[in-house]
Structure 1
Amino acid sequence: MTRSKKTLAVAIAAAVAAFAVGAAAMPRPPALSAESRGDSALVEEVRAVLAETPGVRDRVSVAVIDGDTVREAHFGATDATEYEIGSVTKTVTGSLLADAIDRGEVEAQTPLGDLLELGSSPAASVTLEELATHSSGLPRLAMPLDRVLPTIVANYRAADPYGSTVDQLVASSSEQELGEKEYLYSNLGFALLGQALATAAGTDYQELAEERVFAPLGMDDSFVPTSTDDLAADAPTGFTAAGRPSEPWTLGADAPAGSVRSTLADMTAYVRAQLDETAPGVAATEPIADAGGSSTIGYAWHTTDSVTWHNGATGGFTSLVAFDRDAGRAVVVLNNTGASVDELGFALMEDD
C-alpha cells in the first residue's frame, strides 16, 4: 500500500471512529419502560394501544375509575411519580373562577381591567367568562419583539419558552388587539385569568390553587412552580415528541395556563371529585359556550358528546383527564414524553 493510500485509510478509519463515538454520545430516544405494575388487564390494554400510537414513550401512569373502583397501570412509575400536567392546569384555573364567583369575589362578567392594570387597552374590556371559555378575542400567545429570539432558542433547546413576570405579562397584554369574540384557544387568556383571580383574592396564583383546590381535595403532592427554584434538584424531566431530553417548564407568570406538577394519585382524587360533583368550583365543568365542531366548553373544561375533558402538553410531558357522569367513568393519563396520549385516554373512556 502506498503512503498516500495508507494516509487515506487512516483518515477514513479516524472519521469512522469519530462518527461512532459521536453516535454513541447522542441521546437515544426512550422506549416504553419494561417495568410495569398495576391491574394486569389494564397494563396489557394500555400497552396494546400505545403500540399502535405514534411517538416515543418512557414513563406512563394511567387510572381508570368506574364508580368506586379504581384500576391503575404504570410503566416505569408509581402513583407518586411526579408529572407536568400542562394545560390540564387550565381546569384548575377554571375551578378557581367558579369558586371565586361563589365567594362573591368576582362575577362572570367582571372586566379584566377591574383587576389588572390594563389602562384603556382593548384587553381591559374582556370579561373573566370570556377568558375562561377562550372567546375573549385575545391571541393564543403574546409575543413581544424582545421575546421572539429567546422563544426560538428555547424551542431549539427543548427549554421552557415562557418566563415573564406578572408586570411583563400585563404590559404585553395591553398591547394586544382583539379578534372576533369566538372560540380561539388562548394560553394568554388563561394566564391573565389566573393572575386576575389571585389579585381579587389578595394572594398569588400558587397559594390560591393550593388553598382552594389542592388542599380541600387532599392533593398533597400537587403544586404550581413558577421558576426552576420551585423544583427539587431531582425533579423529573421528560422527553420531546422526538425523544430529546426536555428541560422543565415552569412558565413564570403564565403558570395558570399550564405549570402544575402532580401525580396519578392526586389527579385521580381530582377527577373523581369532578365526576361526583364534590370538587371546589365544580360548576366550571358545565358547558356554556360553543368550542368548535361538536364540542362545547365550560370554564376550561371541554365536552364532546357526553365526555368532559382536557388534555395537556409541555415540552416533555403530555396528559389527559376525562370523565363521563352518565357512564360513571373517568380516566387520567400522565406521560413523560411529548407524544400525545389523547388516543389512549379516549379509548379507555369507552365502557367495555
Structure 2
Amino acid sequence: MRRTTVITLVVALVVGVAGVALMPRLARLGPQTTGDPDLAAAARAAVRDPSGHRGLAVALVENGRIRTAGLGDRDRTGRPVEPDTSFEIGSVTKVLTGMLLADQTAAGVVRPDDRLGATWPTITGPARDVTLAELTSHRAGLPRLAPGSVLGWARLLWANFSGGNPYAGQGVDTISGAANRITPDDGRGEVHYSNVGPSLLGHALAAKAGVGYAELLRARLLQPLDMRDTVIATSTDDLPADRAHGGRAANRPLDPWWGVGYAPAGVGPWSTAQDLGRLAAATLAGTAPGADATTARFREDDDTRVGYGWFTTRHGDHEIVWHNGATSGFRSYIGLERATGRAVVVLGNTDREVEPIGLRLLGVPETEAGAAAAGTSVWIGAGLAVAFTFLGGLSLLGTVRRRELDRVTVSAASVWAFAYLGLAHRMGDWSVVPVWLWPLGAALSAAGVAVAATRWRALPVLDARVPWRRLLSVAGSMLAAVLAVAAVSD
C-alpha cells in the first residue's frame, strides 16, 4: 500500500510539472500601436491587466474632435489593429436600431406607440399588441431569445459549445414565426433585456419601408454619417476582408457570427472605431439621425434608465449614456457623457470585457469602472474552468476505489479524466481563474491513472451480467469524450 501511494504521488508530481508547459496561455495585448499615440498611451494605461486581451481599437471624442488608435494584434499572426480594423460590435447594434425608430418617428413614418402588428402585419399572434417603444426599451415582456424546437436548441447549444455560429440559418421568418407564438409575460412594462424585441423592431421598421433591415439602416443612418465601414454580414461572403479575428481570452479562436434574423439586435454587424466615433460625435452634437434615441425615458433601477436602445447609468458623479456588445469572440462598448461633451468607443477581439476601459477613459473612477463589467458570462466560464479541471480526476479516483470494477470501466473513466482537462483548457475563462490550477488537475487525473494501473492486472476485462450493454454504454461514453474534445479543438 505504501509503495502504491509513493508511485501515485511521484506520477502526479511528474505530470503536474509537465502540465505547466501545457497549461492555458492567455492572449495578451501586444505592444503594437497605430493611430493617435497619446490616445493609444491613455488607452493602454486604462487597461489594468493586459492578459486576456489581444487587440483593441479605440475612439475618443472631445470638443467635437475624433481621435482614434489601435493597440495590439488583430489576429494570431500578429497583424496590428488599425483604427479602421473591423470588429464584431454585437449588441451595440441595438442603439442603431433604436435610432432608426427615433428617425422614422421624426419623419412621420411611425409613432413610438404604434403596435407591432400595425407596423408589420406579418405578426398576428399575441405579440402584435406590443408597441415599438416597448420593443426598443426591453419592456415588451418578451424573452431574451425566441423559443424554438428541441432540435433548434440542440443546434444552438452545440454551436456555443464548439465555437461555431449559433445563429446560422435563422432568417426574418425565424423571428416573425417565433413572435407569432410568443405571449408577452407578466413582466411587460418592466425592463427585461431581450434580443427578440429589438430584432422585431428592426424588421418591422424595414417592412414598413418596404426594404430589408440592412438597406434601411444604410440609407437612414450609415450613409448620412459616412459610416462606410459598417456592414451587416448575412453570410460568410459579407465578412470584412481585413477584419479582426475573435477568440477567447484563453486563446481559443471562435467563428464569427452572421445572420439575418437577429441582425437588428447584434448578430452580423461589423464596424470600426472610426465609424463608431463618427456616430458618437454626431449623437453628442445632436446631428445624427435619430439622436433623440439617447433620451432616457423609462426606469430600470435606481441607477439606470433606458431610452430607444441606449441606457443611461450614473457612476458616481458621471452620467453615461451607453451600450455594450458581446459575441462569442468580441466585446464592444460605446459611451457618451453630455456634461463633459466626451464620448468613447472601445472594441476588443477576445471575450475579455472592455467596458471598464471605456469608463476609465471617460474619467470614471477605478472602483466604479471595475464594478461595471458584466459578470454572469465571466463566472460561468470560471466555473467551467474549475469544474472541468478537477471533475475528471476526482471521478476517476472515485471509480478505481470501487470493489466491483473491470478494465473496460477503468478505461472509459481514464479517457474522461483527460477529456475533461481538454474541455477545461479550451472552454474555461482563465482570465479570472489562476492558470496554475490546470496542472493540478492534470496531476489529479494522472494520480487516478496511476492507482488504476496498480489494480489493472487483478481486474476482469468485463464484469457485467449483460456484457453487450456495458460495452455499448462504455463505447458511447468514450465516443462522447472524443467528440467533446474534438469540438473545442482548433
Aligned in 2, Cα 1:193/1:241: closer, same or farther, shift over 3 Å?
A: farther
| Residues 1:243 and 2:248 aligned together | no
Q: SS of the counterpart of 2:347?
A: strand
User: 1 or 2, which has the higher helix percentage?
Assistant: 2
Matched residue type, 2:57? S
Greater CA deviation, 195-204 or 220-229?
220-229
Matched residue type, 2:138? H
1:246-267 residue CA offsets vs partner (Å, 9 max, x unmatched)? 1111132110000321111111
| Residues 1:89 and 2:93 aligned together | yes
- Tell me which residue corresponds to 1:150: 155
| Equivalent residue for 1:124, pick from 121, 128, 141 | 128
User: TM-score normalized by structure 1?
Assistant: 0.88
| Residues 1:332 and 2:345 aligned together | yes
- Tell me which residue corresponds to 2:42: 45
- Tell me which residue corresponds to 1:177: 183
The alpha carbon displacement at 1:116 in A equals 4.1
> Is the CA contact (8 Å cut-off) linking 1:226 and 1:253 kept in structure 2?
no
Q: Distance in 1 between matches of 2:273 and 2:29?
A: 18
Aligned in 2, Cα 1:232/1:342: closer, same or farther, shift over 3 Å?
A: closer
Matched residue type, 1:70? I
- Tell me which residue corresponds to 2:64: 68
Q: SS of the counterpart of 2:321?
A: strand
1:186-241 residue CA offsets vs partner (Å, 9 max, x unmatched)? 00111111000100111000101111111000111111112223225664321124
Q: Distance in 1 between matches of 2:106 and 2:293?
A: 11
Greater CA deviation, 35-44 or 56-65?
35-44
Q: Distance in 2 between matches of 1:116 and 1:63?
A: 40
Q: Distance in 2 between matches of 1:233 and 1:69?
A: 28
Q: Distance in 1 between matches of 2:240 and 2:339?
A: 40
Gaps of at least 5 residues in structure 1 are: 1-11
Larger Rg: 2
Q: Distance in 1 between matches of 2:137 and 2:244?
A: 32
Superposition CA RMSD, Å: 2.3
- Tell me which residue corresponds to 2:7: none
Q: Distance in 1 between matches of 2:85 and 2:147?
A: 34
| Residues 1:301 and 2:310 aligned together | yes
Query: How many aligned positions are there?
Result: 332
List aligned pairs for 1:274-293, cutoff 5 A.
274-293=283-302
Aligned in 2, Cα 1:194/1:91: closer, same or farther, shift over 3 Å?
A: same
Q: Distance in 1 between matches of 2:162 and 2:233?
A: 20
1:40-63 residue CA offsets vs partner (Å, 9 max, x unmatched)? 44333322332337x611110112
| Equivalent residue for 1:99, pick from 103, 109, 116 | 103
Higher relative contact order (Cα pairs below 8 Å, separated by 6+ residues): 1
1:112-142 residue CA offsets vs partner (Å, 9 max, x unmatched)? 11214222x2211111000011100001111
Q: Distance in 1 between matches of 2:155 and 2:301?
A: 32
Greater CA deviation, 154-163 or 42-51?
42-51
- Tell me which residue corresponds to 2:31: 34
Greater CA deviation, 106-115 or 40-49?
40-49
Q: SS of the counterpart of 1:151?
A: helix
> Is the CA contact (8 Å cut-off) linking 2:87 and 2:243 kept in structure 1?
no
Aligned in 2, Cα 1:40/1:289: closer, same or farther, shift over 3 Å?
A: same
Q: SS of the counterpart of 1:327?
A: coil
Q: Distance in 1 between matches of 2:313 and 2:133?
A: 20
> Is the CA contact (8 Å cut-off) linking 1:27 and 1:244 kept in structure 2?
no
- Tell me which residue corresponds to 1:9: none
| Residues 1:159 and 2:164 aligned together | yes
Identity of aligned residues (%): 39
Q: Distance in 2 between matches of 1:266 and 1:31?
A: 26
Aligned in 2, Cα 1:37/1:234: closer, same or farther, shift over 3 Å?
A: closer
Q: SS of the counterpart of 2:305?
A: strand
Matched residue type, 1:329? R
List aligned pairs for 1:337-348, cutoff 5 A.
337-348=350-361
Q: Distance in 1 between matches of 2:67 and 2:103?
A: 30
> Is the CA contact (8 Å cut-off) linking 1:291 and 1:302 kept in structure 2?
no
List aligned pairs for 1:133-282, cutoff 5 A.
133-145=137-149, 146-163=151-168, 164-179=170-185, 180-181=187-188, 182-232=190-240, 235-258=243-266, 259-282=268-291
